[in-house]
Structure 1
């Protein structure tokens, strides 16, 4: 109960708000009060587990309605509940499961977008709501390129930059120059909250790609605030080989006090991110190329830094070109349009070091809620760190050893 009788009751203790709720004639075919079990504790969790449900919401006695994140309301998941049920329980609060989220409606929620797993559009929405708190800080203020699969991953897909023709009034868009494209500029979506993610999910925009720079005042481009190293496995190699190259790259940059943060691409490769601050928009691309070429020189049998596809067989291509201002990279926590609903998932270095099989670093949307509960946002340092000043050209080539 939030409002009743013309007054705001959110500040009242939960017990009083519950009593006001129970005074209303809600029981019937269309609405009813959610059951409440005060102080039920372990007995309630046992009953939930027996029914195969993901968990319960626990509310602190005497607490008011929460206005934001806090400890007065907590979701308590039970052991043995399926991860998919847990994801749905955590992500699809309120009416999100069937109708959408906030101002973002959801059409055809039962439409299957991943036939191999039966994953529906409602499941896709559930994923993006489940990861929104971690994901949004990494994509807000960045123009998003959407990759859409209207008929599911077995159908045709297309990239979409200009969303003006179907974007709702409440969605932020930014007109950004697109030199070399079909037009001089496009109106990009800027996904700044969970509603924006829900809007994209309704379009079957499974993949969300963003640049390494943010929008500034009047939608101008700010200098890049991160460097990305995209590790792309050539024929005959896997993400296991990418993990080995990632460790070499980490050790190389450690010599300059430059920390990098690893993530899967959601496909066969990996990305490593470095928070930076630069004034020259081209500096990050030049720096990334220098690092890639140094690695290729030191590990000629395993690493390549040139784009010629025919030369990549048996090697890992360190793609430095993703740092060009016109390029984008798959966003952290984005789904991928592959046979299964895999996710571009931030990693710990221990996971990278321990990778022995490709399956060790494959995560689907069912895995993300538990990972976020355990690790939080492993990419958070990209936001919390002021950014590192890059060494001047040539310095990387002088790292001892």
Structure 2
């Protein structure tokens, strides 16, 4: 295949490069771009209007990688950006809202997409998602995360909050609840309370403190991802794991019956099949009537 291939995407001419280049041992850059083109209808609603950060790995998962926040060199001027506050003042971040923007970033090796729990339109002080990151410590795995996820879902339901789940694409789970009228500090405070109460009730399974030595055999409920400056892996993003992992939306029955980590590890091809068969299992996050205020 030629090193440079012109294509039309959303009425724009993009030049894709090095499509035969292996970025994972058995998965090329061209296959990654094809996956994103196919998954875009489900992915883009979850990244639109959210200033993104990326993990770039131009030499593949076995080469150097770096976390990119500001727009990379070579980015077309039609790509949407939004300012994000920082210690040195606001800096522009790319907003992945269209197929063309998704493809152009992936072509620049920005293949792992992370987004905050707030939108550019509402601003960083108005979070619209609560997230709890379930991170298994040594000796625990995603099956333990599933047990904890059911406890978190029950706890959120007591406060009138819905709960949607996805894999991180690596070892753990992300749980989301759509919320209204909260700051990042308020969301993190509520998530911390949930974590602490579950740790008190299930000390053999749950830990609410970040100290790694305390996590062995247990699941850490990371509430800090609600901070305005933090991001989580976007739904359906590829991950820079040894094989091409995907942050995959799940059904609650899958979580309830999970008996081994292999049951919740999905390839890009499997995720596309799941989408065709099941639809977007995180669609409820986007429904305006799903959002609820955090309890006082």
- Of 13, 24, 34, which aligns to 1:126? 34
SS of structure 2 residue aligned to 1:106: strand
Contact preservation (8 Å) 2:182, 2:293: no
Contact preservation (8 Å) 1:216, 1:222: no
2:8, 2:169 → 1: CA distance? 25
Q: How does 1:335-346 map to 2 (within 5 A)?
A: 335-346=238-249
Deviation by residue 1:22-50 (Cα, 9 ceiling, x = unmatched): xxxxxxxxxxxxxxxxxxxxxxxxxxxxx
1:224, 1:258 → 2: CA distance? 15
Deviation by residue 1:73-107 (Cα, 9 ceiling, x = unmatched): xxxxxxxxxxxxxxxxxxxxxxxx95445233211
Deviation at 1:339, TM superposition (A): 1.0
Please state if 1:167 is matched with 2:75: yes
Please state if 1:215 is matched with 2:124: no
Q: TM-score, structure 2 length as denominator?
A: 0.94
1:175, 1:388 → 2: CA distance? 27
Residue 246 of structure 1 corresponds to 149
Q: TM-score, structure 1 length as denominator?
A: 0.70
1:248–1:101 CA distance, 2 compared to 1 (3 A): farther
SS of structure 2 residue aligned to 1:318: strand
Contact preservation (8 Å) 1:146, 1:207: yes
Residue 206 of structure 1 corresponds to 111
- Which stretches in structure 1 are left out of the alignment for 5+ residues? 1-96, 393-401
Deviation at 1:184, TM superposition (A): 2.7
Taking only aligned residues, the RMSD between alpha carbons, in angstroms, comes to: 1.5
- Of 91, 107, 113, which aligns to 2:17? 107
* Higher RCO (CA 8 Å, separation ≥ 6 residues): 2
- Of 190, 199, 203, which aligns to 1:287? 190
The structure richer in strand per residue is 2
Aligned residues: 289
Residue 391 of structure 1 corresponds to 295
- Which stretches in structure 2 are left out of the alignment for 5+ residues? none
SS of structure 2 residue aligned to 1:267: coil
Contact preservation (8 Å) 2:145, 2:219: yes
Contact preservation (8 Å) 1:136, 1:191: yes
Deviation by residue 1:343-376 (Cα, 9 ceiling, x = unmatched): 0000000000110010000011111221111111
Larger radius of gyration: 1
Please state if 1:370 is matched with 2:273: yes
- Of 146, 153, 163, which aligns to 1:260? 163
Deviation at 1:310, TM superposition (A): 1.5
1:161, 1:252 → 2: CA distance? 34
SS of structure 1 residue aligned to 2:230: coil
Contact preservation (8 Å) 2:128, 2:182: no
2:165, 2:125 → 1: CA distance? 24
